Amino acid sequence: MSDRSVFLRLFRMVRPFSWLMVLSVLCGAVGHLAAIGLMGFAAAAVVQIVGFAGSGGEFPYLFAGLALCCGLVRGFCRLGEHYFGHDIAFRLLFDIRTKIFKALSRLAPAKLIDKRSGDVCSSAISDVEYVEIFFAHTVAPIIIGFIVSVVCLVVVGGLNLWYAVGLLPFYLIMGVVVPILSYKAAGKAGYEYRENLSAINSNLLETLRGVKDLILLNQAEARFAGLGEETQKNNQLFAKIKQHEGVVAGLSEVIVLLAVLGNVVVSAALYSRGGVGVREIVISAVVVASSFGPLFSLMFLANSLLNTRAAAGRIFELLDEVPVVGDCAGAVDVGAVGQTPELCGVDFSYPRSQLQILEKFNFSFTKGVLTAISANSGRGKSTILYLMMRFYDPEAGKVVIDGEDLRTMRLDMLRSNISYFTQETKLFNTTIIENIRIADESASDSEVQAAAKKAGIHDFIMSLPQQYQSRVSELGGNFSSGERQRIGLARIFLQDNEVVLLDEPVSNLDSETEQLVMNNLKEGLAGKSALIVSHRQTVIDMADEVVFI
């Protein structure tokens, strides 16, 4: 995608909130104008008094009153700007997150089944934040700067056209040329700096989390020193950015002073020709001197554009990705299925992979016969299960259940009919009981406990201070992979489907628990269509039938 289309698309994304954006920008612009107006009207009052000097004219109530009003308006505008700004940020974050969630929901499981899925998720989090910052802190200030500048030009132009002509170039330099130059000079360094920074931070995280082992290996000092060096190196970039920041900030100050000087020169030239009087001179001087505020905030805005561009690019790529499977036209709700899934003459290789995993592959098993698949790593054991769950579609041949091609069935129906136990069990950050109940929301507490008992995790849960109400987050890393796995198994027991596919169900369990769980599985799966993938001999031995691949 080109830069232009990425940014255009970004703007289209916020169209639903454009009215909020308008309100927030208006408040911001009026607020700035009020601050300038405060000075301008006060100056006008001074001039009016000067006009009457000595002749005992009336106090300039109008201008003094207007100045006071401007002061009051300023406060309320700040309220509005913040209020609407928060609202936009909020809606925007939520909206983009929803979009990403939906996109991933379409793309899962295929997209997320491999081990890099963590990267996809964590980069989505920070990418969304970049986009939010872009709108809340980049786009709004640009528009506000533009509006305020135009109004000021109109005001000084109204005093005398030449004032506007003299002021315009300074606005253009300050609002357009400086940001672009700044971006050209430091955009890349800024991008690099921020990328390095996040790399250093994740390195730091890893170091602290693994600090015990580093100390045990007497490597903590070396690792800390390494981090220090990386930080130092990145600091050189930071120094460059800061130096550049200093130059740009200095330059901006210079521009303001030159604008003030320019204004005086214009005034002098016009004054000598009698083109302007005291009123125009004083008011224009005050307005020019105090009108650069909103443009000041534009100086460095462009510097994070590269990061925003990269973040938005990643988001759009995700939103645009076509899922490898989806509901086909005319997919039907088949109700309950009871028979075993079957692979008929299947060819399969993973997307973007040359390796042919399955070729003219047939596989079936019998209902009521606990079947185990045994094979060495990499021979496509898990792939068979993926195909049965329709994570992927075969390139040739078909996968059927109850004689129907999976592609004719609705995906949600397929998934609610087949229990599938994955190698990694994901625990959500809620209570343990909620984590098990995800398999069947209508299950009673005692049903959940019965499932946990079968999975050999009940006693462990009861030993926790909060028992089933313990939140997963509070236990944090205290869940071993074996405990996670058993909670995963409890889900399967609770779901109690007619078709059950298990991928390495006891790989993280010790031999005693394994014994218990396998016995319960065998009992629970009696009479059902059950398929187990494992390379544990003890598991294979317990199956009624073993298929070697």
State which residue, 294 or 397, has the beta carbon closest to another protein.
Answer: 294
Using rule CB under 8 A, residue 336 touches another protein: no
Exactly one of 422, 490, 502, 503 binds another protein (CB under 8 A); that residue is 422
State which residue, 282 or 344, has the beta carbon closest to another protein.
Answer: 282
Give the DSSP per-residue string, 163-197: HHHHHHHHHHIIIIIHHHHHHHHHHHHHHHHHHHH
Helices 117-134 and 305-320 sit at what angle, rounded to 10 degrees?
A: 130
CB of residue 395 to another protein, shortest distance in Å: 22
How distant, in Å, are the alpha carbons of 454, 502, 507, 519 from that of 539? 16, 11, 10, 10
**Are 340 and 406 in contact, with CB atoms under 8 Å apart?**
no
CB of residue 93 to another protein, shortest distance in Å: 8
Q: Which letter does DSSP use for residue 406 in this model?
A: G
CB of residue 426 to another protein, shortest distance in Å: 4
How crowded is the C-beta side of 43, counted as CA atoms within 13 Å? Answer: 19
State which residue, 361 or 384, has the beta carbon closest to another protein.
Answer: 384
Exactly one of 168, 181, 289, 334 binds another protein (CB under 8 A); that residue is 289
State which residue, 103 or 397, has the beta carbon closest to another protein.
Answer: 103
State which residue, 310 or 411, has the beta carbon closest to another protein.
Answer: 411
Q: Which letter does DSSP use for residue 138 in this model?
A: I
Print the SS3 string covering 294-346.
Answer: HHHCCCCHHHHHHHHHHHHHHHHHHHHCCCCCCCCCCCECCCCCCCCEEEEEE
Using rule CB under 8 A, residue 192 touches another protein: no
**Are 216 and 150 in contact, with CB atoms under 8 Å apart?**
no
Exactly one of 1, 133, 220, 549 binds another protein (CB under 8 A); that residue is 220
Structure tokens at 80: 């509005």
Using rule CB under 8 A, residue 529 touches another protein: no
By CB under 8 A, what part of segment 425-484 binds another protein? 425-426, 428-429, 438-439, 476-477, 480-482
How crowded is the C-beta side of 363, counted as CA atoms within 13 Å? Answer: 23
CB of residue 195 to another protein, shortest distance in Å: 16
Exactly one of 24, 160, 267, 308 binds another protein (CB under 8 A); that residue is 267
Q: How far apart (Å, rounded) are the C-alpha atoms in residues 213 and 364?
A: 47
Q: Left if phi > 0, otherwise alpha if psi is -120 to 50, otherwise beta: which for 108?
A: beta
By CB under 8 A, what part of segment 82-141 binds another protein? 82-83, 86-87, 90-91, 93-94, 97-98, 100-102, 104-105, 108-109, 112-113, 115-122, 124-125
CB of residue 443 to another protein, shortest distance in Å: 12
Exactly one of 186, 302, 343, 389 binds another protein (CB under 8 A); that residue is 389
Using rule CB under 8 A, residue 333 touches another protein: no
By CB under 8 A, what part of segment 495-514 binds another protein? 495, 504, 507-512
